[in-house]
Structure formats: C-alpha cells, structure tokens
Amino acid sequence: MNSFFPPWRGGAETYTYNLAQALLARGHEITVVCASDPLPPGENRQGFLTIKRLPMLTKLYGTPITPTLLDELRKLDVDLFHANFPSPYGASITAAVSIFRRIPAVLTWHNDLPTVTSGARFLIEAHNRLVLPFYIRPYRKIISTTSTYAHNSPVLNRLGELVTVIPNGVDCKRFHPQAEASEVRTQLRLKDRFTLLFVGALTKWHRYKGLDILLEAVKIVAGAHPNLMLVIVGDGNLKDTYISLSKQLDLKDNTKFVGNVPDEDISKYYVAADVLVLPSKDMSEGFGLTLLEANASGKPAIASNVGGIPSVIKDGYNGMLVPPNDPRSLADAIMRLREKPDECREMGGNGRRFAELHDWSIIASKTETLYEDVLSRF
C-alpha cells in the first residue's frame, strides 16, 4: 500500500514500483493499492501485478484520504501487507486490517513527517507521541532505508529491534554510464559547460530538497566561472517561485528549467551532466534516490550531510558531503569538482560500483528474506 503510484512522481512511488517489479521477477503476485491520482479510479491487471487505484476524497497534510481503503484491504487475498510511510492514514488503516484479519504487515519508513510550516511542528510532535504508538506496534518489522536515519530519527531510534535496514535500490540496466546523452547536451546547448543536475519535485512538500540553497550557490560559483550550467528536472506549484529566484539572482544564463522528463529519457540527463546536486535541508530526506541513480550513471553527487544521505554518499568516494543550508560550502564543493575533473570522474566510477551493490535484484532478495522471516514467526 502506498499513497500514490506511477505515473505519480515521488521517491516512495519509485520505490514501490521498482520493488514490485523486482518481486514479480522473483515469482510473487503483487497487488498495489493507492490513491488514483493522476489517473481515474479503477483496477488494472498486468500479469501477476494488480493495481487498485482508489477514489480520493481529499488530502490531509499531503496524504490522500481514500475512504474505500479499509474495505479494499479487508477483501484482498494476500499473505502479507507492506505499507509505506510517511502516510499516517495508510499506515494506520493497514495496521488495523492486519490485526483484524491476522495477516502480518511490514512498513517501510521513508522519512519522518516533514515540517512544512511552523505550526506543523506541534501537530507532528502530537502525532508522534499520542497517535503513532497505537498503529506502529502491530507491524512485524519497520524497514529503514539507511542505518543513519534509523539512528537519528526521533521515531525510529525508539523502536529498537523492530527496525531493520534495507536500502533503496536502483535499476543498473536502466541507469548506466553508456546512456546516449549527446541529444540532451545538444538540445540544452551545454557544449563544454560544467553542468550540474537537480532532480526533484518543485512543490511545497519538497522545499526540503533545497533548490533555493543550490541557486544561491550557483550564483557564487557563476561569478567566477560563468560557463556553469544548472539543469533542473521537475515540476510543481513552486516552479514559478524558483524561476523568479533565479532571475533575481541574475542566473538566466546559468539555469535551465526543463520540467518533468519522461521516464525513458531521465537516464540521459544524468549522463549529460557532470555532477548531481541534492542540497537537502533537514531530516525529511530519508535517502535520496536520485543519488543512487546518478551514481549508477557514473556521476558523483554533492549532497547535504543530513538525514539518511551520509549512508549513501561517502565523502570523497562517490561524491561530497556539505553542511545543510550553507550556500558557500556548497559552492566550494562545486568549484572543487569543476577544477578537478580527474577526481570528479574517479568519484563517478566509484559511484557506479556502489550502485551495483544496490541493484533492485539484490534489494528485492533482501526484502523477500524479510517477508519469509516475518511469515515464519507469525
């Protein structure tokens, strides 16, 4: 169970899709239950994969409220439930059905609830202390995608042995250094420009990705190196806000907002760039799937030393870590990789080797083993 499913774009959606595909390849039958957006409600069968898209009543703190979820889970013929967080609604409904039907359930904890507004901090704290304990304990295992997040999350670090670490995965056949990128470089007129890539939703729920911090860092670097280019892949209700900020910073010649890119083309953008940048601001960043996708494409990443990122990027090995919310430190890291192309390429090669250890075939096998353990103990 997940809030949404592709073509909806998001980290949890990418996780759910790829895990489902990898488990199908291992001979399992999978049913995905999600809110319908952006497609109409209904059921779609693709071999041993069934997708049930439920009508959505509204959204509460970004979480879709689907009134028929309880009934759908109640009727499913399954051996095990697997839900995803942050979706308190979906996680609580799944836990309730798990108890009622005596079917074991596991939960992947992608990240803590993000603090989108100042007032939300109080509500999140109230949820974590007063509501969460009632629906978290029925889960037989909580999957954290990094050991760093499992240790630092104020929720996960209280759950002890209930938490196990299984990282996110990447499709190393889809994302690889040999992807043809000349068309993208020509289309974007990159020529010999040192190119940074940012991939992420441009919505208020993803402010924590830190695109504003990256734009400020690009302003610093571009002052000394005007041939710098930042390519921004993604769309959302804050796109115009970020475009306005880039204009205020006089970065018209150093930024390209390309919007959403078709799934079959996104690998070309990673290869077309020199470095991926993920300047996340806080603990809302549980992993950063784009880091693995960049590494699988043979590219290093510069990312904030926050959330689960330090378990993915090893500073100086497959990328660089910088303090969060610090445009100057981010600019220094960008300039270092620009001025040391050999070091940049070496980190990219290391990144490919790191990504190969996280191919979805490996991650699905580890998840399957967890399922078997949970079922054997139930």
Give residue-wise pLDDT tens across range 85-97: 999 999 999 999 9
Range 12-29 average pLDDT: 96
Range 36-50 average pLDDT: 93
Contacts of 61 (CB under 8 A, 6+ apart): 113, 116, 120, 123
What is the pLDDT confidence band of residue 378, given thresholds at 50, 70 and 90? confident
Query: Which residue is listed with tokens 């911090």?
Result: 213
Distance of CA 367 to the CA centre of its chain: 18
**Residue 176: exposure state from Cβ atoms within 10 A (0-12, 13-18, ≥19):** middle
> Is the per-residue pLDDT at 328 higher than 90?
yes
What is the percent of the chain where pLDDT is above 90?
A: 87
Nearest to 272 by CA among 155, 158, 328, 190: 190
The pLDDT of residue 62 is: 79
Give residue-wise pLDDT tens across range 182-197: 999 999 999 899 999 9
Distance of CA 114 to the CA centre of its chain: 13
Range 226-246 average pLDDT: 96
Sign of torsion, CA 312 315 320 324? positive
Q: What mean pLDDT, rounded, does the chain reach?
A: 95
> Is the per-residue pLDDT at 46 higher than 90?
no
> Is the per-residue pLDDT at 297 higher than 70?
yes
What is the pLDDT confidence band of residue 118, given thresholds at 50, 70 and 90? low
The pLDDT of residue 126 is: 85
> Is the per-residue pLDDT at 81 higher than 80?
yes
Query: Which residue is listed with tokens 């693709």?
Result: 46
> Is the per-residue pLDDT at 61 higher than 90?
no
> Is the per-residue pLDDT at 244 higher than 80?
yes
CATH 3.30.420.10 applies to domain 11-169+359-377: no
Q: Enter the tokens of residue 60.
A: 């509460």
The pLDDT of residue 351 is: 98
Q: Is-contact 272 190, C-beta < 8 A?
A: yes
Burial 60-78 (b: 16+ CB within 10 A, else e): ebebbebeebeebbeeeee
Range 98-122 average pLDDT: 88
What are the residue boundaries of the structural domains of the chain, listed by start?
11-169+359-377, 182-356
Domains 11-169+359-377 and 182-356 are alike in CATH topology: yes
Q: Is-contact 321 315, C-beta < 8 A?
A: yes
> Is the per-residue pLDDT at 113 higher than 90?
no
Query: Which residue is listed with tokens 């806000």?
Result: 241
> Is the per-residue pLDDT at 207 higher than 80?
yes
What is the pLDDT confidence band of residue 36, given thresholds at 50, 70 and 90? very high
pTM for the full predicted model: 0.92
CATH 3.40.50.2000 applies to domain 182-356: yes
> Is the per-residue pLDDT at 125 higher than 90?
no
Distances (CA, A) of 302 to 171, 189, 202, 280: 21, 23, 19, 10
The pLDDT of residue 31 is: 97
> Is the per-residue pLDDT at 255 higher than 80?
yes
What is the pLDDT confidence band of residue 56, given thresholds at 50, 70 and 90? very high
> Is the per-residue pLDDT at 117 higher than 80?
no
